[in-house]
Chain A
Amino acid sequence: MDLGEINPVLLLASLMVAATPLLLAAIGELVVEKAGVLNLGVEGMMIVGAISGFAISVETGSPWLGFVAAAIGGAVLSLLFVLLTQVALANQVASGLALTLFGLGFSALLGQSYVGIKPPSMGDIHIPLISDIPVIGPILFQHDPILYVGIALTAAVWATLKYTRVGLILRAVGENHDAAHALGYKVIKIRIMAILFGGACAGLGGAYISLIRVPQWTEGMTAGVGWIALALVVFASWKPWRALLGAYLFGGITVLQLNLQAAGVAIPVEYLAMSPYIITILVLVILSADKSSAPASLGRIFHASH
C-alpha cells in the first residue's frame, strides 16, 4: 500500500471529468421534472447524443460541431417523448422507458460504421497565468471546455429557476398545472420546451462520454449513467447545486475508489466498489432533511379540459 502513488492533482482533475456526463444529464432532467414531467428516457437520449456527437465530430473533424449535434440529437429523440406524452397524452413512465429502449437500439444501428474510430480531440483550455498556477491550475483550469459548460449550466439553471419570471412560470407549471393554465400560461408549450432542453442536456452528457471521457464509440456505452442521473435528481431534492454536489461526489468517489484499489489500500474491494452509491445517497439524503419535496404535478398528464 502506498498512498503516495495517488497524485491528488490528477485525482481531482479526473474526478471532474468522471462527474460531468452525470451532471449534464441530471441538470437537464431536473428542469424537465421541475416542469412536472417525468422523463425516464435519459439513458436513451444520452446514448443517441453519444453517437450523434461522435459521428458528426468524426465526419467534420470538429468536436464543437459534434457537441452541437449531440444536443440536437438528444432533443430530437425527446421530441418523440413530447409526441407521446404531451400530444397523445400517453403514460410518462411507459413512454420514457420506451424512449430508452428505442434510443439504445437506434444508436447501435447508427453507430455500426463508427466502431474503432478515434474521434478528433477537443483539447484542453489553457488560459495563460491562471492555468499555470501550481496545483490549482491543473485541477481547476486545465480542462476541456464542456466541463465548464456543465458548471455554467448548473449556475444558469439555478439562477433562472430562482430569480427569473421564466423560472417562476416553469415551477408553477410543475407544481400545479391547472392553476398555471387558469392563469393563462401555456402548460403544454412550456413543458415541451423543458423536455427539449432536457434532451439536449442528456445528449451533451452522452457525447461527453464518447468524445472526451473514453473516447470512442461502443454500443451501449453509457451503461446506466442515465439511470444514475435520474436517481440523482431525486436525491438532490430538485436543487441544481445539490445535483452538482451529488454528481461530483459520485464521480469523485468512483475515481477515488479505483485509485485506492490501484494503490493497494487494504480496504476490501467490495466496499470500495459500492462506496460511490452509498456515500452519494447518504450525503444527499442528509441534506434533504429540509423536507423539500417533488414538484406536485410530477408525472401527471395535463389536458386543458380537465
Chain B
Amino acid sequence: MKFTAVLASAAMALGLATGAMAQDKTKVGFVYVGPVGDGGWTYEHNKGRLAVEEHFGDQVETVFVESVPEGPDAERVMTQMALEGADLIFTTSFGYMDPTINVAKKFPNVKFEHATGYKTAPNVSVYSARFYEGRAVQGHIAGKMTESNIIGYIGSYPIPEVIRGINSAYIHAKKVNPDVEFKIVWAYTWFDPAKEADAATVLIEQGADVILQHTDSTAPQAAAQEAGNVITFGQASDMSEYAPKPRVSSIIDNWAPYYIARTQAVIDGSWETVNTWDGIKEGMVEIGEISDAVPADVKEEALALKAAMAAGEYHPFTGPLKKQDGSDWLAEGETADDGTLAGMNFYVEGLEGEIPQ
C-alpha cells in the first residue's frame, strides 16, 4: 500500500515536472495511421512534421505515434498526447474523425486538426487537399496510355475522398478514351503491403495495364514492376524509386506549409477553427514529375491540364455530367460545389459496380 502511494506520488511529480516544462515550448502531436516508413501517406505527413521542427527549432517540440488503428485506440492515443501537454494535435486519417471530436471535447484548451474529415468544433479544424485535381491528371494519362482499355483501381475504404478520386480519374480517362473501363477493388485497409500487392496482381491478371491506388504503401508499384508493362502513379508521395516505369507520375501531398502556418497560429494565439481544402493552386497537391515513359504529347496535355487547374480556369467536375443511375448531376458548364464533393457518395455515369455502403 505504502509502496504504491510512493509510486503514485512519484508519477504525479513527474507529470507536474513535464507539464511545467511543456509551458516553455509549444508541443505539437501527430497521430499516424501507418508507419512513417510507408513511403506514401504517413511518410508525407511525417515530412510535414519534420518541416515544422526545422522551421521553429527550439520553439517547438513535436511528438508522434504511428500505426494507430482507426477506432477506440485512436482516442486513447490522442488523450495521452493531450495529457502530456500537447498544444496542437494533428490527426491524419479519415477514421480519426469521431475520436478527434470526442477527445477535443475533453480538452477545450488543446487545438485539434483533423485531416480529410468534415466535422469541426471550436477547437477542431479540418484540412484536406483536393487530391481529385491530381486524379484528373492521372486519369488523362491513364486513358491515353492504356492499351487494354482496362484501368485497375485499388480503393481503400468507400469514403467520399476515395470516391471523388475514382470519379475524377474516370471522367478524365473517359474523355480521352471512350472505350476505357475501370475495375475497382476495395482493399478495406490503408496499409497492408501484401494485400495491396495481391489486389494489384489480381487487377493485372484481369487485364488492367494501368493501376491507380488509393492505399498508402508502395506495394502495388512493386507488384506492377514485377508484372512488367504496367503503369502506376505514386500515391500521396512521389514514390520516385519506381520511376520511370511503372510509376509514370504521382500525386504528392505537401502538408509542410499548412503545418507550419497552423503551429505559428497556436504560438501567436491566433488559432481559429478553419475548414481548409487546398489544391494544386495553393501547392498542397503537387504533381510528381511525369516520366519519359509517357509520350511527349500526352505529357504536354497533362501539364496543360494541371496548369488550367492551377490557374482556376478548369474544374475537374464540370458538366455535363450524369450520375451512375443516369440522373442529371451537372448541367453544361456547371461545376460541382464543395458541399456535394465533400460528401460524394455516388459514381458518375459509366462506372460499373456499386459503392459498398
- Residues of chain A whose beta carbon lies under 8 Å from any beta carbon of chain B: 5-7, 10-11, 14, 18, 21, 108, 111-112, 115-118, 121, 209, 213-216, 218-225, 254-255, 258-259, 261-264, 266, 268-270, 273
Structural contact, B37 and A261, CB atoms closer than 8 A: no
Q: Which residues of A sit under 8 angstroms from B356, Cβ to Cβ?
A: 268-270
Q: Name 30 interchain pairs, CB-CB below 8 A, sorted by A.
A: A6-B206, A7-B205, A7-B206, A11-B205, A108-B35, A108-B37, A115-B37, A115-B39, A115-B241, A116-B242, A117-B241, A121-B226, A209-B194, A213-B194, A213-B198, A214-B193, A215-B222, A216-B219, A216-B221, A218-B219, A220-B35, A220-B67, A221-B193, A221-B219, A258-B198, A261-B186, A262-B184, A262-B202, A264-B183, A264-B352
Structural contact, B37 and A219, CB atoms closer than 8 A: yes
Q: Which of B185, B199, B202 has the most CB of A within 10 A?
A: B202
The docked-state distance in angstroms from the alpha carbon of A7 to that of B207 is 10
Q: Which of A7, A121, A255 has the most CB of B within 10 A?
A: A255
Q: How far is the CB of A141 from chain B (nearest CB, A)?
A: 19
Residue of B nearest to A266 (CB): B354
**Binary CB contact string for chain B from 323 to 357 against chain A (1 if under 8 A, 0 otherwise):** 00000000000000000000000000000111010
Q: Which residues of A sit under 8 angstroms from B241, Cβ to Cβ?
A: 115-117
Q: Which of B191, B205, B218 has the most CB of A within 10 A?
A: B205
Q: Which residues of B sit under 8 angstroms from A222, Cβ to Cβ?
A: 194
Q: Which residues of A sit under 8 angstroms from B163, Cβ to Cβ?
A: none
Q: Which residues of A sit under 8 angstroms from B99, Cβ to Cβ?
A: none
Structural contact, B217 and A221, CB atoms closer than 8 A: yes
Structural contact, A118 and B225, CB atoms closer than 8 A: yes
Q: Which residues of B sit under 8 angstroms from A115, Cβ to Cβ?
A: 37, 39, 241
The docked-state distance in angstroms from the alpha carbon of A21 to that of B38 is 21
Structural contact, A116 and B194, CB atoms closer than 8 A: no
Structural contact, A5 and B207, CB atoms closer than 8 A: yes
Structural contact, B218 and A262, CB atoms closer than 8 A: no
The docked-state distance in angstroms from the alpha carbon of A72 to that of B181 is 47
Q: Which residues of A sit under 8 angstroms from B223, Cβ to Cβ?
A: 214
Instruction: Knowing A115-B37, A213-B197 are in contact, say whether A218-B218 is a contact too (CB < 8 A).
Output: yes
Q: Which of A108, A223, A264, A266 contacts B194 (CB 8 A)?
A: A223
* Chain B interface, number of residues (Cβ within 8 angstroms): 44
Q: How far is the CB of A251 from chain B (nearest CB, A)?
A: 9
Structural contact, B206 and A112, CB atoms closer than 8 A: no
Q: Which residues of B sit under 8 angstroms from A14, Cβ to Cβ?
A: 198, 201-202, 205
Structural contact, B38 and A218, CB atoms closer than 8 A: yes
The docked-state distance in angstroms from the alpha carbon of A273 to that of B184 is 14
**Binary CB contact string for chain B from 16 to 32 against chain A (1 if under 8 A, 0 otherwise):** 00000000000000000
Given contacts A223-B195, A254-B195, 14 further A-B contacts (CB under 8 A): A6-B206, A14-B205, A18-B194, A118-B222, A121-B226, A213-B197, A214-B193, A218-B218, A219-B36, A223-B193, A259-B206, A262-B152, A262-B184, A262-B206
Structural contact, B206 and A214, CB atoms closer than 8 A: no
The docked-state distance in angstroms from the alpha carbon of A112 to that of B332 is 51
Asked if B188 lies at the interface with its beta carbon under 8 angstroms from chain A, I say yes
Asked if B192 lies at the interface with its beta carbon under 8 angstroms from chain A, I say yes
Structural contact, A218 and B37, CB atoms closer than 8 A: yes
Structural contact, B202 and A258, CB atoms closer than 8 A: yes
Q: How far is the CB of A301 from chain B (nearest CB, A)?
A: 25
Structural contact, B199 and A258, CB atoms closer than 8 A: yes
Q: Which residues of B sit under 8 angstroms from A218, Cβ to Cβ?
A: 35, 37-39, 193, 217-219
Q: Which residues of A sit under 8 angstroms from B205, Cβ to Cβ?
A: 7, 10-11, 14, 259
Residue of A nearest to B242 (CB): A116
Asked if B284 lies at the interface with its beta carbon under 8 angstroms from chain A, I say no
Q: Which residues of A sit under 8 angstroms from B225, Cβ to Cβ?
A: 118
Q: Which residues of B sit under 8 angstroms from A264, Cβ to Cβ?
A: 183, 352-353
A-B pairs, top 5 by smallest CB distance, nearest first, are: A116-B241, A219-B37, A219-B35, A216-B222, A269-B356
Q: Which residues of B sit under 8 angstroms from A121, Cβ to Cβ?
A: 226
Asked if B203 lies at the interface with its beta carbon under 8 angstroms from chain A, I say yes
Q: How far is the CB of B69 from chain A (nearest CB, A)?
A: 11
Structural contact, A220 and B34, CB atoms closer than 8 A: yes
The docked-state distance in angstroms from the alpha carbon of A116 to that of B158 is 28
